[in-house]
């Protein structure tokens, strides 16, 4: 076995690490959307049943807790992406004009910190609707945030409208 130079990993080890990173990222993405499906099914069951303050509180708690899991998944994906871009640029030589060519660098479009020859990142991938390019950057993350937010707001409105505020004010006035 040949000695490995210090600070220079074995190329096969780097390939295995990159494969593991992309596999783990795929697992996280699959989990994100599986969780979303579970969430929407649970929210549909709760919303479709007769409303109560307890069910609205359950829906609000479910929304917040699953959104926190979503935030954790994002941080994991961000860490994996950072390492993947490091491998693509540092070990595989995608620098300068090719800095945004490999898979993870192309998906993230983060400017390399140590490569001024890379230039500016390419523009976002704008969505098309009937061949019209919408100049609005859209992401899965934004869609997930909006879904969790709207359902949480719905639950909060259900909780607030379930109170009889006249009785509550009278109660507070009499007891305080």
Domain limits, the chain: 11-175
Q: Residue 60 in contact with residue 155, Cβ under 8 Å?
A: yes
pLDDT at position 1 is 57
Q: Cα 109 from chain centroid?
A: 16
End-to-end CA distance of the chain: 82
pLDDT at position 21 is 97
Q: Residue 119 in contact with residue 95, Cβ under 8 Å?
A: no
If we measure between CA atoms, which residue out of 3, 7, 147 comes closest to residue 90? 7
Parts of the chain with a pLDDT under 70? 1-6
Structure tokens at 85: 């871009």
Rounded Cα gap, residues 75 and 87, in angstroms: 19
pLDDT at position 55 is 96
Indicate the pTM of the whole model: 0.82
pLDDT at position 134 is 87
Rounded Cα gap, residues 119 and 154, in angstroms: 45
Alpha-helical segments (H) within 49-139: 53-86, 103-108
pLDDT at position 169 is 79
Under DSSP, is residue 50 helix (H, G, I), strand (E, B) or coil?
coil
Rounded Cα gap, residues 95 and 120, in angstroms: 12
Q: What is the pLDDT of residues 124-164, one digit of tens each?
A: 888 899 989 888 888 999 999 999 999 999 999 999 888 87
Find the helix or strand (DSSP H, E) in which 133 lies: strand 132-133
Rounded Cα gap, residues 136 and 127, in angstroms: 8
pLDDT at position 47 is 96
Rounding to the nearest 10 degrees, give the CA dihedral for residues 157, 161, 165, 168.
-80
């Amino acid at each position: 076995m040949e000695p490995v130079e210090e600070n220079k990993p074995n190329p096969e080890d780097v390939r295995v690490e990159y494969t593991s990173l992309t596999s783990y990222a795929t697992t996280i993405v699959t989990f994100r959307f599986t969780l979303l499906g579970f969430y929407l099914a649970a929210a549909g069951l709760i919303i479709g049943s007769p409303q109560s303050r307890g069910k609205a509180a359950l829906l609000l708690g479910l929304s917040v807790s699953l959104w926190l899991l979503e935030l954790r998944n994002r941080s994991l994906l961000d860490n994996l992406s950072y390492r993947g871009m490091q491998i693509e640029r540092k070990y595989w030589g995608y620098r300068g004009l090719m800095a945004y060519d490999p898979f993870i660098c192309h998906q993230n479009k983060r400017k390399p910190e140590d490569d001024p020859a890379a230039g500016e990142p390419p523009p976002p991938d704008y969505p098309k609707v009937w061949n019209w390019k919408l100049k609005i950057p859209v992401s899965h993350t934004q869609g997930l945030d909006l879904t969790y937010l709207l359902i949480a707001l719905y639950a909060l409105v259900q909780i607030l409208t379930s109170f009889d505020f006249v009785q509550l004010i009278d109660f507070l006035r009499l007891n305080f």
